[in-house]
Every structure is written in structure tokens, then in C-alpha cells.
Structure 1
Amino acid sequence: MSDQKVYSAGAFTLQSGLTLPDARVAYVTHGTLNPAKDNVILYPTRYAGTHDDQPPLIGPGKALDPEKYFIVIPNTLGNGLSSSPSNTPAPLGGPDFPRVTHYDNVLLQEQMLRTLWGIEELRLVCGWSMGGQQSFHWAAIFPGRVRAMSCFCGQAITAPHTHVFLEGMKYALKTDAAFMGGYYREQPWRGFTAQGRAWAGWALSQEWYRQERWRDLGFTSLEDYLKRAWDGAYFKRDANDMLSLIATWQACDISDNPLYNGDRAAALGAITARSIIMPGRTDFYFPPEDNAAEVAQMPNAELRVIESIWGHYAGGGKLQADTDFVDAALKELLA
């Protein structure tokens, strides 16, 4: 990966009305910006992820080829590298960090691209999960400046069922006695363990567990998999950061902004970019039916279902066949 850099935007007023006095976006780049500045791919990060999680789709011969394209990976606000509860001083740090929306993320990313490199057009914006949510927002907020868009295992509008699931993830952290309303002296590791165990049942499908696919990953039993893969999965994270990202996820709605004022049909209909939306067949967070309803309202979009038992991870680079499926669709968009 390229060395991480930070774009400092100065004072940035969020959609909530609160201002971050020193808004920062951590980012990395791959490849070289061409003189015409028309070879730019934006690849935002997922929930609980950073730029270090993006490599499976990046490399020579892949769709996201740094020998052809200038690939920018901005870290989502709240992820611990960009402005987040854990790195923002009082009175806006910790549990007092303002609510962030994807509208905020996209406006700040657009400012960064324009200020640092003079970039006005994206050849492609794509992403997995929350990165895909940002891709939807980019295509709706700047429809004339995005040529192609892809979301894999994500949505333009967080569905009610997903909202409820995320409530459970929030309260797994909040009900740990060590959480102390967010003013904790140590991370609520018991809450993280509870969150990991709960997430394990949502991230992968029934069939994945039925086939005991955890054996393919080197685990000797189901309990061995839960203990070693999930119990400590979030121990290196900050609880307030995770809650900030959950709040952003729950608030995801491409029409909830001054451009569309809640008109979801108008926001989806404004996406003129050639788009391929790729839900996972067994994804509990973002089922294909929700994406099908969104694609039906988009004038230049196609739904391609990833036929995988890997649940939400079908878009996350865990299985090579699934990654190849996503890569092939991105190559079409870039052709």
C-alpha cells in the first residue's frame, strides 16, 4: 500500500449543523494521475475498515489497475484514521462526536479531490458495504461528474431490518458496564466480544455454517472459529468510533440532503452513471430484493447477484471466485 497521508480541510460544517474545526481525511493513492485527469477511481472504505482492507481488488491486470488508473482510497469519517471520536479533542471527541452522514463524507472527499489534484470527474466510484453506500451517494450528488458506479453488498438507503440489526450491535457495546456512557477508561472488551459473537451470525449464511466452511479457514471446531475469529475481532478498535460508523450506516439515505429533500425516487433517478449493483445472494444486511427496488428506479443500472454462500463477505474479498465476479463487472464498467 502507498503511504497514508492526511488531507486537512480546516473548519467543515456537517449536515448535523455542527462544525469540525479541523476536519481530516486520511487517504492513500495508487497509480498516477494522467494529464487529462480522467483516469480517477475512488474506492471508499467499509464499516470498521481502513485503506489496508482494500487490496484484494487492486493490482496489475485487475480492474483497479494502478498501471492504468489513479486510485484514491479515502478513509470514512469515524473509522479512527479520518476525523473520528477517538482522535478529535474535547468538546467534540468521544461520545460527543457529531453525527456524520455519507453526504458529509462525499462533500469532504469532493473537496479533497478538487483541492489536492484539481479532479472534477471520476471514471469510477465503487465500494463494498459502507463504501458502496458512499458510491451511491457520489453518483446522486454529482451525477454529471461520475461516469461509472458500482456498489457490492451495500445499499443506497439502509433498510429498516438492517437498522434494527444495527441497534443490537450498538447495545452490545453500550450495555457493557465499562462503557460508562462513552467516557470509558478502558475499551469495553466484553461488549466487543458480545458484538463479535452476534456479528458472526449475521456476516455469513446458514449454508456457510451448514457446510462448516470455517474448516477451510483453518479452524478445528465451530467454537474455535467463534473464539479466535470473532471474540477479539474489534479489540483493536475504539468503541465510540464503531458507534459513530453505525450511526452513519443507519442514517444512509441518498435523498436525505438539500438536493433531494427526501425524494428517494428523484435521487435514484438522477444517477446517470453506468452502474452495476452487486448484492450477495445470502447477504442478511443488504439482500438482493432491496437493491432490485433501487435499480428499478435508476435509468442506467443493472443488478448482478453474487451467487455465494459467503453472505455479506461475498463482496469483501474472502473468496477468490466472488472477488473475480466483482472484478469482471468493474472491468466492464471501465471498458
Structure 2
Amino acid sequence: MDYEIFDLGNVALQSGVTLPGAFLAYKTYGKLNEQKDNVIVYPTAFGDQHIQNEWLIGSGMALDPEKYFIIVPNLMGNGLSSSPSNTPPPFDRAHFPQVTIYDNVKFQHRLVTEKFGIQKIALVVGWSMGGIQAFQWGASYPEMVERIAPFSGIAKPWPHTFVVLDSLKASLLSAVDFNPSRLNELTSENLRAVGRVYAGWGLSQAFYREGRYRSLGFDTLEEFVTGVWEDSFMKMDPHNVLAMLWTGQHADISANSSYHGDFHKALKSIKALACIMPGSTDLFCTADDNKYEANLMPNAVLKPIQSIWGHFAGSGINRADNQFIDDNLKHLLALSPNV
């Protein structure tokens, strides 16, 4: 096991349900300095675990473990932190309670403060749903977080984003005829269709038109869709996928007792220096959505990733996109914080 476990105990969720014996799986890179001010929090995205974040961590990079103490907490529902697949009855599988992004960040805050005694965070960074968590950190703990850098991630699922996530959910639920009483019949095989649906949203029209999948070693479109999209989803647990989809669909940074649904107030309350990096061709976490959000934040700059890799411009696959993200993170970390 290449990660650690932080026991949360019995936690009260935003939904009102108490999840017993909850826990966060996390991995750290580098060492915490004596001042405890070299901290970077790097949450995981939908479907990802800490290992998928490691492409952005390394010597000489912005997230340099020789300089920073980097904490990668795993998203609830991803199979390592408390999830449908690893929670005992009565909260196992389809009975797992609804967990929000707000819940996730609240538990991560406990990890950071209770486990490590950290009071200041130099940067919260993340891709996709990891990006939403970066926004949430900034909104929930504005005095603690000095910088945030969401990439290919938005501060809430705008209506189109919600519909895209709903299409993934529907393609899975169709396997049991949308019957809630049959959810425990779902298997990983049923995720084949989910992969096919996501294939159309994860990458841009230009990516497919130019056949960029060949650079990944696939000769045909069919081989690519089968070998990447079907395969990656079929490695997941269907109940974990449903749990994470619910989390993503309800990930509004203002949906809590601090902001009572006032999205503008939540964005304006983020004091952190923010570098927001949308993919220029992202089809469901769009640059326009991020532009709207950045305009409401007091210390935000918008730096679109000029890429035909769509949402996956932020996934660590394409070298030029990776370099752009790393360069902007270096610039952000070099700026003096104002919190």
C-alpha cells in the first residue's frame, strides 16, 4: 500500500446522514518544514486516485517535493477513501450516502490541521473535480489558502456540465432499466457504455478530426475508444462511479451554510491568488464558464490552455499542455500571497 489512512470517525455529512468509520486515503510527497508553510494540497479528480496526480510532481517542477510538502487526498468515492466499494453495510454499494465537495474539503481540512498541525496552505491545485475542490478550499477557508490553481475545473456544474454528467449516469442506469431497487445488480461490465459516452466529451472535435489518438499508439478510432475509454471505466466499480457522479453534479461552492447558495458571494470571498487554467477546447468545463467565475474573484487571472486535447488538456497526457500548466504554477508560487 503506497498511501496512508486518516481516520475521520463518525462524520456528519451535509445530507444529514452520519457515515460511521469514515476515512481519507492520502499520500504525501516531500517534507513539512519547521514553519509548516511549504504546503501544497492537490486533490484528486473524478475516477482518479493519487497515482494519477503524480505526473505534476517532481524535481525541478513547480510541485517539487524537495521544496514543498505536497498532500494528495483521495476523493471520497474513488475506491481508496471511504467509498461504496469499501464501506460495510448498511452503507455499502448502492446504499452509500451522498457526499458533497464541501464534505470532502471539510474532511481534508481536518487531515491538514489535525494530522499535521498546518495553518497556512501555499497552494491548492487540481484538475477537473480536483479543480472544483481547489475553488471550494478557497471559498471555505479564505484566510488559510494563499493560492489556488484549478485547471479544467469549474466552481460549480453549470447546467450543460450537469447534463453531461447526467448522460454518463443514465448510460449506466439503463443497464438496470432505471430501477432504483436493482442498483446492486450493476457490474463493472456495465461501465462499457459510460466510457463510450464520455469519449465524446473528454476530447475535442479537432482531436478526433486530426486523429491525435495515433500519438497514443492506436491505429484506429475504434481501437482508441475501446482501449482507452471502455477499458478505463471498466476498471472502476459502478457504485463508486455513481457516487462520484452525484458529487460532481452537486458541487456548487456556495451550497453550504457559509454562502446559502449565493454563488457570486462565494467567488468574491476567495482571497487567494488564483490562476485558472481552462482547456480552450474543453466541451463541458468550458473556458467561458471559468471566465465568468474569474471575473467575480478579486485576485484571479485566466490562463487558457491552448490545446485541442479538450478536457484532457489537464490530465497530464500532452507534453505541451503539461509544460504550460507547470510554468503557470511556478509563476503563481513565485508571487507574494495576500492572505
- In the superposition, the TM-score normalised over structure 1's length comes to 0.97
Match of 1:218 in 2: 217
* Distance apart, 1:177 and its partner CA: 3.8
2:198 aligned with 1:199, yes or no?
yes
2:2 aligned with 1:40, yes or no?
no
Match of 2:112 in 1: 113
Check 1:188–1:71 CA distance in 2 against 1; reply closer, same or farther (3 A cut). closer
Measured in 1, the distance between the counterparts of 2:156 and 2:194 equals 23
1:187 counterpart letter in structure 2: T
2:102 counterpart letter in structure 1: Y
1:165 counterpart letter in structure 2: V
Measured in 2, the distance between the counterparts of 1:279 and 1:245 equals 21
* Distance apart, 1:188 and its partner CA: 4.4
* Distance apart, 1:232 and its partner CA: 2.0
Match of 2:8 in 1: 9
Measured in 2, the distance between the counterparts of 1:226 and 1:188 equals 17
Measured in 1, the distance between the counterparts of 2:182 and 2:280 equals 38
Check 1:188–1:319 CA distance in 2 against 1; reply closer, same or farther (3 A cut). closer
Instruction: Indicate if the aligned counterparts of 1:192 and 1:232 stay in contact, CA closer than 8 A.
Output: no
1:246 counterpart letter in structure 2: L
Structure 2, unaligned runs of 5 or more: 335-339
**SS of match in other structure, 2:72:** strand
1:97 counterpart letter in structure 2: F
Check 1:244–1:77 CA distance in 2 against 1; reply closer, same or farther (3 A cut). same
Match of 1:311 in 2: 310
2:125 counterpart letter in structure 1: C
* Distance apart, 1:333 and its partner CA: 1.4
Instruction: Indicate if the aligned counterparts of 2:45 and 2:126 stay in contact, CA closer than 8 A.
Output: yes
Instruction: Indicate if the aligned counterparts of 1:153 and 1:315 stay in contact, CA closer than 8 A.
Output: yes
Match of 2:244 in 1: 245
**SS of match in other structure, 2:148:** strand
Instruction: Indicate if the aligned counterparts of 1:95 and 1:181 stay in contact, CA closer than 8 A.
Output: no
2:164 aligned with 1:160, yes or no?
no
Measured in 2, the distance between the counterparts of 1:200 and 1:133 equals 21
Measured in 2, the distance between the counterparts of 1:198 and 1:236 equals 16
2:35 counterpart letter in structure 1: A
Instruction: Indicate if the aligned counterparts of 1:156 and 1:253 stay in contact, CA closer than 8 A.
Output: yes
Instruction: Indicate if the aligned counterparts of 2:281 and 2:311 stay in contact, CA closer than 8 A.
Output: yes
Match of 1:84 in 2: 83
Structure 1, unaligned runs of 5 or more: none
Please give the per-residue CA displacement for 1:90-143, whole angstroms capped at 9, x wherever unaligned.
111111111111110011000111111101110000000000000000001000
Measured in 2, the distance between the counterparts of 1:88 and 1:3 equals 20
Measured in 1, the distance between the counterparts of 2:242 and 2:205 equals 27
Match of 2:337 in 1: none
Measured in 1, the distance between the counterparts of 2:187 and 2:164 equals 22
Instruction: Indicate if the aligned counterparts of 2:188 and 2:235 stay in contact, CA closer than 8 A.
Output: no
Please give the per-residue CA displacement for 1:38-67, whole angstroms capped at 9, x wherever unaligned.
000000000000001011110000000000
Measured in 2, the distance between the counterparts of 1:236 and 1:315 equals 21
Matches within 5 A, 1:1-335: 3-177=2-176, 181-184=182-185, 187-189=187-189, 191-335=190-334
Measured in 2, the distance between the counterparts of 1:320 and 1:232 equals 23
Measured in 1, the distance between the counterparts of 2:176 and 2:184 equals 11
Name which of structure 1's ranges 232-241 and 27-36 shifts more when overlaid on structure 2: 232-241
Instruction: Indicate if the aligned counterparts of 1:149 and 1:276 stay in contact, CA closer than 8 A.
Output: yes
Instruction: Give the CA RMSD over aligned residues.
Output: 1.3
* Distance apart, 1:231 and its partner CA: 2.0
| Overall identity of the aligned pairs, in % | 47
**SS of match in other structure, 1:22:** strand
Measured in 2, the distance between the counterparts of 1:173 and 1:246 equals 11
Measured in 2, the distance between the counterparts of 1:236 and 1:138 equals 30
Measured in 2, the distance between the counterparts of 1:93 and 1:229 equals 28
Matched pairs, number:
332
**SS of match in other structure, 2:157:** coil
